[in-house]
Structures are given as C-alpha cells and as structure tokens.
Structure 1
Amino acid sequence: MIAIVRHASFIPARGMALFPFILVKHPQDLADARLIRHEYIHIWQQIELLIVPFYVLYLANYLWNRLKGQPHEQAYYNICFEKEAFMHDHDENYLRERRLWGFWRYIIKKSSF
C-alpha cells in the first residue's frame, strides 16, 4: 500500500490521514481494519486532488456546513470526503473497485448520520 501506518497519541481524532501517513491515536487501532480502510480512502482522495487541494476543500466543506448552521459533529459527518469514507469503510473491496473522484457523488447527497 502507499501509506505508512503509525501510532501517534497526540492526534485529536482516533485516526487521521496526512499523506503519506495514516496516524492512529491508540496502539490497538493499528489492527482495526475498518479504521485503517477509512483512512486509506482519505489517502486516495488526497492523491486524486494532488494533496494540498484536498485539505483546502475539506476545510471549506466543513466551514460551509457550519455556516449553514450545522453543529460541529453534523458538519464533520456531512463533509463529502467523510461521507464517502464512512459509507465504504466496511467494504474490503472498495478501494479496488472505487471510481476516480468517488467522493464527488457525496457532495450533494444527504447524510444518513
């Protein structure tokens, strides 16, 4: 795989993808296949958007959700990149079958969270 998976207790979330790293907060999460798969989806999103634009769009999407009046947690779950990752982190084959720019369909899709 392309990412380097490491334990990093200082991160604010349980998992985080910062190309080329996948960081997990707790050592036992190194063995959590679903969490790692979720973060790998973000790694692919970052590659597709040439890294830096991913972070800009991620933050812009979150801020837009907040401006629409969504509380923090809802705004986070409604980020198009998170929608894709949460919808498919259970699927072991998703990254093999995923279409280019797979997050695009989640830009207008309502969240189920």
Structure 2
Amino acid sequence: MVSRFWTKVFSFGKAEAITIFPFIFLRRRGLKTDQVLLNHERIHLLQALELLILPFYIWYLVEFTIRFIQFRDFHKAYRNISFEREAYANESNFNYLKSKKLWSFCKYL
C-alpha cells in the first residue's frame, strides 16, 4: 500500500517503508518491485506476530528510545534496534521467513 502519510508520521519522513500490522506502507509506488525491501518488511510482520502484535510495537519504541539515548543519533538508534538488525541481516535471504526460528531477533539484542 502506498502512503507517504504513514511513512512520514511513523519515521519522521526517514523511511522508504513502514510496517503497521498487517500492512506494509511504501513511500512511493516504485518500491512495490523492491523485493529486498519487501522481504525486510515481511520479516517485521512475522516479528510482530511472534510477539502478538502490540507488544512488538511497544518493545520497538522502548528499544528505539534506549538506543537513541545510547547513541544520540536517530539513524544509529534505528539501525541498532534488534528487530531492524535481524531484518537487515536477512533481507536478501528470500528463504529466511521459511526457516526463521521463534524470537530470532533476541540474538541481535
């Protein structure tokens, strides 16, 4: 789903895509063909399911806040969230979602 509004609101305009369960919002239409980006966002969908959705978003915000205090830099904080680290590490592995173990993001804490 293409929505500049949601990507702007939830990422301060910094993200190309954002996952708000069960939707993936893209900043622009051309991203619909970016399979790596879509795989990254699908990893977030599975992470959200593993944590029963709402706790995923609470954990995400708490961890982002801790990382932002730690690094004092938006991008570094974002890139060091365990959910993002797992997604970036596996976004090019198109079989990852089939083999992903429950709560795999924990090894990226």
Q: Please report the TM-score for the alignment, with normalisation by the length of structure 2.
A: 0.90
| C-alpha distance in structure 1 between counterparts of 2:34 and 2:86, whole Å | 18
**Is 1:19 aligned with 2:14?**
no
Once superposed, which parts of structure 1, at least 4 consecutive aligned residues long, lie more than 4 Å away? none
Q: Give the structure 2 partner of residue 92 of structure 1.
A: 94
Q: What is the CA-CA distance between 1:67 and the residue it aligns to? A: 1.8
Which one of 8, 13, 36 corresponds to residue 3 of structure 2?
8
SS of the residue 1:100 aligns to: coil
| C-alpha distance in structure 2 between counterparts of 1:77 and 1:69, whole Å | 11
Q: What is the CA-CA distance between 1:54 and the residue it aligns to? A: 0.5
Q: Please report the TM-score for the alignment, with normalisation by the length of structure 1.
A: 0.87
Q: Give the structure 2 partner of residue 62 of structure 1.
A: 64
| C-alpha distance in structure 2 between counterparts of 1:79 and 1:98, whole Å | 18
Q: Give the structure 1 partner of residue 11 of structure 2.
A: none
**Is 1:103 aligned with 2:98?**
no
SS of the residue 1:35 aligns to: helix
| C-alpha distance in structure 2 between counterparts of 1:69 and 1:9, whole Å | 27
More helix by share: 2
> Identity over aligned residues, as a percent?
36
**Is 1:31 aligned with 2:26?**
no
RMSD: 0.9
Amino acid across the alignment from 2:41: E
